[in-house]
Amino acid sequence: MPRGKFVNHKGRNRHFTNPEELEEQRKAEEEKRRWRQQHKGEESSSEEEIVPKKDKDNSDSESESETSDSETEGKAKGVEALIEIENPNRVQKKAKKLSQLNETLVKSSSSKPELSRREREQLDAERAQAHYQKLHAAGKTDEARADLARLQIIKQQREEAAKRREDEKKKKELASQKKTEATSRALGKKI
């Protein structure tokens, strides 16, 4: 029991492998590798016999790391072999032929440069505005019809107001003439 109130459980069940076990595992893996190479072909085993014993251990570890890297790249992990998934974030570099590169250059140079989303939206908005203005000028939009109707009503009101003003002017003139006539008669003047 540790002294004190708090107990740290991290180091309690540590298990270390013996160096003898590690050596046995290494030998077993080396034998498996040799067996695989012998069954693949005699060419690879003849190259190993030329290499001295000490260099062989170093080259074995290097070749194992190379083969394990190539195997992990080739083998599918988990359900990758069963389900085909295309990850858009994963970029696979593919070697292109010179003819393909030339074709892509020709296509890109001949076609119009692609616009960004904002630029496309701005152009669409400008086109829509111009189209609306054209229809509005022709009087085909609802707003234009409402404006024209409002204008007609205003014209009628102004015409009526102008007639009323003229009538009132005439009445005032007549009234002023009658008044002058009445005053001239009262004074006894003849016109």
| 98-153 tens-digit pLDDT | 787 778 777 766 656 678 889 999 999 999 999 999 998 888 888 889 998 999 99
- Write the DSSP string, 9-78: -TTTT-----HHHHHHHHHHHHHHHHHHHHHH-HHHHHHHHHS-HHHHHHHHHHHHHHHHHHHHHHSPPT
Give the model confidence (pLDDT) of 68-83 as tens digits: 444 445 666 677 677 7
What pTM did the predictor assign?
0.32
- Range among 21-30, 37-46, 79-88, 95-104 with highest mean pLDDT value: 21-30
Helices (H) then strands (E): counts for the chain: 6, 0
Return d(Cα 71, Cα 93) in angstroms, integer: 19
Q: Bigger pLDDT: 99 or 49?
A: 99
Return d(Cα 148, Cα 167) in angstroms, integer: 29
Q: What is the pLDDT of residue 52?
A: 45
Return d(Cα 153, Cα 151) in angstroms, integer: 5
Exposed/middle/buried for residue 133 (C-beta within 10 Å: 0-12, 13-18, 19+): exposed
Over range 13-25, report the average pLDDT.
84
